[in-house]
Structure 1
Amino acid sequence: MNGKAAPRTAGEGLTRTRPRLDRGRGALGPALELVHTGRAPTRAVLTAELGVTRATAGAVAAELEALGLIRVDARPSAPAGAQGRPSHRLEVAEDGPVALAAQVHADGYRAALVGLGGRIVATAPGCETVDADPAKVLGSVVEAGAGLLRETGRHCVGAGLAVPSAVAEPEGTALNPLHLAWPAGAPVRQIFAERVRAAGITGPAFAANDVNLAALAEHRHGAGRGARDLLCVATGHRGVGGALVLDGRLHTGSSGLALEVGHLTVNPEGRPCHCGGRGCLDVEADPLAFLTAAGRGDPGPDVSLLQQADELIRGHYDDPAVRTATEALIDRLGLGLAGLVNILNPDRIVLGGLHRTLLGADPERLRAVVADRSLWGQSGGVPILACSLDHNSLVGAAELAWQPVLDDPSAALAAA
């Protein structure tokens, strides 16, 4: 022996690094979620967030890159004026896998492909009519998504569907698709999954309420990011929905039916509601209620209620009838929010659909109504923000399909 260490073979090199990767393998999912939600822009931040060594974080990042999920900047860099060692930047892979997202609402349906980071990669032209047969509608929207996959050649990890109805768990049935003319209790998850398989799309298929999914998307990628307990209230094209994210997870209740906030009474002498009550948010603070209050009435089945109401507030707020209707809806919405704040004590509220437009029209009035009804004055300071994602229900539908990958990247990609 000459005292020099024998050169390592390739196999020996892998043997030396493998224990490091094995120790960090359980961190693959948490690491991917940190990059996915923008909370780990660099390897240094990833190391700190995971509580592992720099070497383990590097091995985890390298494995996620090998799976085609993220990109690691080969040359570490630091912002101007920053101190300490520069760190490798981490980003989701722009050419990586996608999830098929589908949304059905009263005024049509749409399909899209959504990558990690909540980025919409491609969208199919939306359809503005919804058939009374859910199987026909879901078959059409899945075929539109399948066409996008063929055009882009992207690998699909699964599919998610957003519907304007409470979706019962574990059955996956739409209990109250009131504005779609679908039968109550339609097995939307089963139908959607069957159409996904028939189209040759790999990966699992999911379905959930559209506002729940909007809240999930906003919490991970939008105005709700960083909140611990996030309340989301939004108008769809018809009706009002709500959702709650607690400690990063959707709170859906024992059977998926939590946060049916549309049936809070805000005007006891108001309009009859589909639920059998009167003066619920669902019929007092949605686009149709606004158009009626503004003297515009129901524009008919071929016109988007949400679009017309939104354009009326944005373009004609000086019209006394429009201003009066806007203030009336703000007051009704504020009453509903105040009750929810007193019960749920969230640390942030985000508003979507027409409610986002109402907030923009007179934010101080809305905040004043909530503060005036606040218990002990402590809930009046809850931040009320507009949803920041234009297609948050679509992005949220994709989050359903991405979740198995976030839980176990290697296993989910092998199965898809």
Structure 2
Amino acid sequence: MSVKATSTRSRLERGRSALGPALELVHTGRAPTRAVLTAELGVTRATAGAVAAELEALGLIRVDSRPAAATGSQGRPSHRLSIDDAGPVVLAAQVHPDGFRAALVGLGGRTLATTPGALTVSADPGQVIGAVVDAGAALLRESGRRCVGAGLAVPSAVAEPDGTALNPLHLAWPAGSPVRDTFSGLVRAAGITGPAFTGNDVNLAALAEHRHGAGRGARHLLCVATGHRGVGGALVVDGRLHTGGSGLALEVGHVTVNPEGRPCHCGSRGCLDVETDPLAFLTAAGRDPGPEVSLLQQSRELLATEYDDPAVRAAVGELLDRLGLGLAGLVNILDPDRIILGGLHRELLAADPERLRAVVADRSLWGRSGGVPVLACTLDHNSLVGAAELAWQPVLDDPLGALG
């Protein structure tokens, strides 16, 4: 083989190996121009141009070679890079205690179509997962878009490598339900192409927030959230979820914050799971939870409309103190550089941010030396967006291999 042919092949190999990192940079908004892409990849401008052109040919991004120059700028502006609005999508699905939601999500974490469904979730996982897959398949038929994968978020730890839901306590599903196999089989039966994945809802919320929301730029991101029932946690380290040896890491809901508190489903007492979720808030505020709407919605409405009520203010303070205790313990163990809060915890933070931050600072080893930023999650339906991230990951890893 000639030296020239070897050099050309070497450039092609380098270019292909850069496709995934380049797509992830555009996908997460970190490379809005070819100049930034060149710098981030550490390649020549010619290689970056070839990589961008290949991603454009695959229908994943658009390259604007004649962008308008900013007012007052000098020199020729760099090519602008953006997600192709007409590109492929993935099916994202979420099941929670009050129903389910299906969506079509494009690159960049953009939800293109969504449909909620069901107020009562069946105790049969196959029935509800089948319903959410059917809803997603209907969205796909209406859109006419190419689908390259599917992801499902569930409110349970998902054991690896089996893909079983170990503790779907608030769904009344049998422990150990084979949710991944069930979802994959139903996705294939519906004629939806691409691989199918399943993960814990808070893990996926953290992944979505790290790539597209309040967690951007954090190296060690801790997410704690309460949705409709219970409390979950997740840790993202250098852009990847830390799930432990068998997918069960960060069960933060079972950190004890009130030893004499409420009995928990795990057999202990006073866990975050039962001391800082919507049911705990409504109970602490002296409200009788009604069956008409979700506990999360009832809690949000109470905060929005009756925060001046002394009982409601006292309940906010009680939950913030317990949440702060739990977060302080996690800071001591995990040393995150940012904490983000989701679900009702986001609203509690907004109600009295200084109280929560003071508890975390006072109770954590390093709190008095500056503290860890505690922020609210910013994405709507972040678990759903995270489920989409699972489905997009094979494309982000190897765009050419995944899409041909």
- Could you tell me which residue of structure 1 aligns to residue 383 of structure 2? 393
- Could you tell me which residue of structure 1 aligns to residue 240 of structure 2? 249
Residue 374 of structure 1 is aligned with which of 361, 364, 369? 364
- Could you tell me which residue of structure 2 aligns to residue 224 of structure 1? 215
- Is it true that 1:110 corresponds to 2:108 in the alignment? no
Post-superposition CA distance 1:337-370 (Å, at most 9, x none) = 1111111110101000000000000001110110
- Could you tell me which residue of structure 2 aligns to residue 147 of structure 1? 138
Return the letter of the residue paired with 1:360: A
- Is it true that 1:133 corresponds to 2:142 in the alignment? no
- Is it true that 1:344 corresponds to 2:354 in the alignment? no
- Could you tell me which residue of structure 2 aligns to residue 408 of structure 1? 398
Partner Cα separation in structure 1 for residue 351 and residue 362 of structure 2: 19
Give the Å deviation of 1:377: 3.5
Give the Å deviation of 1:18: 7.3
Residue 359 of structure 1 is aligned with which of 346, 349, 357? 349
Partner Cα separation in structure 1 for residue 117 and residue 255 of structure 2: 32
TM-score by length of 1: 0.93
- Could you tell me which residue of structure 2 aligns to residue 52 of structure 1? 43
TM-score by length of 2: 0.96
- Could you tell me which residue of structure 1 aligns to residue 267 of structure 2? 276
Give the Å deviation of 1:314: 1.7
Unaligned stretches of 5+ residues in structure 1: 1-14
- Could you tell me which residue of structure 2 aligns to residue 90 of structure 1? 81
Question: Secondary structure of 1:335's match?
Answer: helix
Return the letter of the residue paired with 1:305: L
Larger radius of gyration: 1
Q: Answer yes or no: is the 8 Å Cα contact 1:77–1:87 preserved in 2.
A: no
- Could you tell me which residue of structure 2 aligns to residue 27 of structure 1? 18
Residue 165 of structure 1 is aligned with which of 156, 160, 167? 156
Q: Answer yes or no: is the 8 Å Cα contact 1:47–1:57 preserved in 2.
A: yes
Partner Cα separation in structure 2 for residue 99 and residue 379 of structure 1: 44
Question: Secondary structure of 2:245's match?
Answer: coil
Distance 1:379-1:408 versus aligned 2 partners, 3 A rule: farther
Distance 1:309-1:255 versus aligned 2 partners, 3 A rule: same
Return the letter of the residue paired with 2:314: T
Give the Å deviation of 1:298: 2.9
**Cα RMSD (Å):** 1.6
Q: Answer yes or no: is the 8 Å Cα contact 1:370–1:380 preserved in 2.
A: no
Q: Answer yes or no: is the 8 Å Cα contact 2:360–2:367 preserved in 1.
A: no
Post-superposition CA distance 1:264-294 (Å, at most 9, x none) = 0000110000111000000000000000011
Q: Percent identity?
A: 82
Equivalenced residue count is 400
- Is it true that 1:61 corresponds to 2:52 in the alignment? yes
Q: Answer yes or no: is the 8 Å Cα contact 1:341–1:379 preserved in 2.
A: no
Give the Å deviation of 1:84: 4.7
Partner Cα separation in structure 2 for residue 283 and residue 380 of structure 1: 30
Return the letter of the residue paired with 1:237: H
Question: Secondary structure of 1:124's match?
Answer: strand
- Is it true that 1:72 corresponds to 2:63 in the alignment? yes
Partner Cα separation in structure 2 for residue 309 and residue 139 of structure 1: 30
Unaligned stretches of 5+ residues in structure 2: 1-5
Partner Cα separation in structure 2 for residue 380 and residue 95 of structure 1: 46
Partner Cα separation in structure 2 for residue 364 and residue 98 of structure 1: 41
Question: Secondary structure of 1:132's match?
Answer: coil
Partner Cα separation in structure 1 for residue 21 and residue 185 of structure 2: 31
- Is it true that 1:296 corresponds to 2:287 in the alignment? yes
